[in-house]
Structure 1
Amino acid sequence: MYHNSKEEYSTCIRRIGNNILYLSVTAERPVILDHFEGDLVAEVVRDSGLEGKPFSIIWNLDMVAGLSHSYKKGVGSFLYLHPQPSLRCVVFHYIRPEFIHTAECIRSIAPSTMALLFASGYDDAMKSALACMKDGAPETGESEYPRLRNEFLGAATRIGWLNMLHEHILLPPPGHELFPFFSGMALLQKDLAEQQEIHKAEKDRLLVQYGKETENMNTQLSFCEKAMKQLLLDSERDKTALSHILSDRKQESMQSSSAYSGDRSIALKQLCHGIHNLDIDRQRKKEMLKICNLLLETERNEQKIDLPLTTTDSDFLTHLQEKHPNLNRRELKICLLIKLSYSNEDIAEKSGISRRGMESIRYRMHKKIGLRKNQSLKNYLTQLSTSAF
């Protein structure tokens, strides 16, 4: 049984007797058949053991209102392009009025070895199929007009259903009353064939054009990819060069800073010595020496943590180191930055470590200073800074 994709109908084929297949369509309302069931017919023929043996088909069309173009092509291929030599007879019955013309078109392309008959009901169809299987196709005895009418329908069906635009159409004599119709059909066939050739030529032209455009685009893409790779290489090279330059500048800066710091320390020591030797008021000398010593202490603290310091920051570091002498230089620097409300990310960047490394250092400092788990390192350092003054 065949079910169409839209679930609007189903086609059933069953065998009656030894050599008759009965096709019927089940639907709630008359439908347009959308896919020819050629595979289903072949399967039933094979399963019924009828391959290579004469058989007939009775087709109940009471729920068939029409055929899709795809179905027409399938029927045309089954009957005309690939005729079934063992199929002796097809009988249509319960043909709906709107389907009469389509049924006649099918009959017009039926091969001469097969009879395609119309019947009013099941009994009539069964009698026709049995008679055909026994005695062969009945003689039509058609007069000229019905015969030409059938040929005209056949030509139109082959053109419209099967796109056969180069098959010769037999014309009646020029003086015949149907000659203009056949001649018009032949001209239509020729025009359609020419249009098909034009369409094919245009299609081929577009394929060539699009092929060239695609080739050009691929070439441009390849060029862009190469350019991008070169830009990335240049960027990496420039990045490396800049990194070296920055490293060199940093080293120079550190050397300059160290030299400057050393010069400043010497200058401050000389200044303290000079103040000590001054013949001035004792109290004033004491105050001046205190300021000078504070500057020297700030200078020493700056050298420890490699950061410029205010006097307040220097006092904080001195007090912190006195209270926790087990803290190393990096930890002192980190404590100062925490006290100054720097974030972990900023401290990690200034210290040249990762964020995860920074978190590990804070954890170790927390234990090193001796804080409880619920105590904040930031609050402790802030309080220590306040107590330093």
Structure 2
Amino acid sequence: MNRCRVSHLPVRENRQWDVPHPACGYTTVFRGIGDNIVYAGVNPHRENVTLDYMDVEMFFRVIDETGMSGKPLYTIIDMQKVTCITYRYKKDFVNAAYNWGPEFKHVILFNVGPEIQTVAETFAAITPGYAPLSIAGTYEDAIRKIMALEATGAAGDEQMIEHADTKDRSFLFRKEFLAALARMSWLNLFDHHVCMPDPDEPCYSYMKSLEQLQNDLVSQRSGQRHTLEKLRREYAWKVEERELLIKAQADLNNRLEQQLKEETCRLRARAASMDMELTRISTAVVEKSARLNDICRRLSRLDLPGHLKKTMTGPCSQMISDYGSDNKPHSGIEHADPAFLSLLHRRHPELNQRELRICLLIRNNHNTRDIAASIGITPRGVESIRYRQHKKLGVEKHCTIKQYLIDMRG
């Protein structure tokens, strides 16, 4: 097992703790040093590295697998070749500082380049007192700082940036300035009090400008909230208005649908009544045509002069011709057995014109396809009608409609 070259504490390594960030050109490397130090290093794959986000899940896995879970930890972070830190990483860092507080006894950043020095100082300024952060030059400096903290039992007042005189008010207000910017930028906190120096101090103008910026942002956010609330009310009003219109339209549609159903029922009843009347008239026409034919046959057998016989049979023939022309062409009834149709109509007056036609075609030995073509419906429609007719005619199960119609007697 390797040992730390400064503290000589054992160093635990695991390649599975490495987290690659290929898009940003680095790999995060975790190590366990001793029983309370976690090392998080940036292994760069190119010159300029951008930290995109913190590897939170892997951090907790490392402290769990090294047996450090539940202990106050020292954490050292190597920022070698880091030239940019994303907004997401900053948010993650602040979240870790405030929400993982018991896990951090002290955090130390080292190998911090000039490009991110201000961000690092801002981290140090915004971290709470129970989880302090400081900046060291090298790995050795970071380990020695931890050893010194362990030796003195310091609680964390050394989180400030290394400075010769911690009582220097300009240094304290610099920290306050950075912390205030971080609160506004990273946490959206605009109502936090800003400590102001005396008007004659050099940093007064900077702090005053910061205070004015904060007040402006508070006013801006208040205006945005007012505008947002106004938009919400307008939206709610429009939604309510639209819902009322939709409800009114739905009610109208329901009324129209009910009227349509009533009109449909009325028309169907009227059509059924007219169909029955048409059936009655058609049957009567067929019967009258049959009687007229019988009269003509009897007149032709009488011993009468030709001109008188013609005078008597002519009107009958004309009436038969007129009856035939009034019927629907190819309906099948005008060429039917009048006695059969009359008998069928008397026995089953509920049958309509189309059903009488179908009964006639069935009796005359037409198949389903021929019947469908004759009356202008599909074969499936004919089968459906035949099924209903089987019940209407009261045909027994062992008997077919055709046999029933053939066996029908007066």
TM-aligned CA deviation for residue 260 of structure 1: 2.4
Contact residue 332 and residue 361 of structure 2 kept, 8 A: no
Q: Which runs of 5+ in 2 are unaligned?
A: 1-16, 338-357, 388-401, 403-410
2:305 equivalent in structure 1: 279
Write the mapping of 1:230-249 to structure 2, written as runs, cut at 5 A.
230-249=255-274
Among 90, 94, 97, the residue aligned to 1:72: 90
For residues 17-44 of structure 1, the C-alpha deviation after alignment (integer angstroms, 9 at most, x for no partner) is 0211111345644554444445654565
2:151 partner amino acid: K
Contact residue 22 and residue 57 of structure 1 kept, 8 A: yes
For residues 47-105 of structure 1, the C-alpha deviation after alignment (integer angstroms, 9 at most, x for no partner) is 655566442110122364433323322322333x4472563321112324432222121
Contact residue 4 and residue 35 of structure 1 kept, 8 A: no
State how far apart, in whole Å, the 1-side matches of 2:284 and 2:278 are: 10
Q: Does 1:60 align with 2:47?
A: no
For residues 128-172 of structure 1, the C-alpha deviation after alignment (integer angstroms, 9 at most, x for no partner) is 222223233558424333333222112111111111101111122
Among 235, 241, 255, the residue aligned to 1:216: 241
State how far apart, in whole Å, the 1-side matches of 2:280 and 2:292 are: 18
Q: Sequence identity of aligned pairs in percent?
A: 21
TM-aligned CA deviation for residue 343 of structure 1: 8.2
Contact residue 56 and residue 129 of structure 1 kept, 8 A: yes
2:177 partner amino acid: F
Root-mean-square deviation (CA), in Å?
Answer: 4.3
2:34 equivalent in structure 1: 17
Q: Which runs of 5+ in 1 are unaligned?
A: 315-326, 358-367, 369-389
Q: Does 1:170 align with 2:195?
A: yes
Count of matched residue pairs: 332
Contact residue 88 and residue 132 of structure 1 kept, 8 A: no
Q: 1:38 to 1:198 in 2, by over 3 A?
A: farther
Q: Does 1:329 align with 2:354?
A: no
Q: 1:344 to 1:257 in 2, by over 3 A?
A: closer
State how far apart, in whole Å, the 2-side matches of 1:338 and 1:344 are: 10
Write the mapping of 1:1-389 to structure 2, written as runs, cut at 5 A.
1=17, 11-25=28-42, 28-29=45-46, 31-38=49-56, 41=59, 44-45=62-63, 48=66, 50=68, 53-62=71-80, 64-79=82-97, 81-82=98-99, 84=101, 87-135=104-152, 136=154, 138=158, 140=163, 141-142=165-166, 143-277=168-302, 279-280=305-306, 307=332, 329-331=360-362, 335=366, 342=373, 346=377, 348=379, 353-354=383-384
* Structure 1 segments of 4+ aligned residues over 6 angstroms from their partners: 4-7
Q: 1:2 to 1:279 in 2, by over 3 A?
A: farther
State how far apart, in whole Å, the 2-side matches of 1:87 and 1:245 are: 90
2:10 equivalent in structure 1: none
Task: Find the residue that maps to 2:101 and give its secondary structure.
Answer: coil
Q: 1:83 to 1:134 in 2, by over 3 A?
A: farther
1:252 partner amino acid: E
2:281 partner amino acid: S
TM-aligned CA deviation for residue 256 of structure 1: 1.5
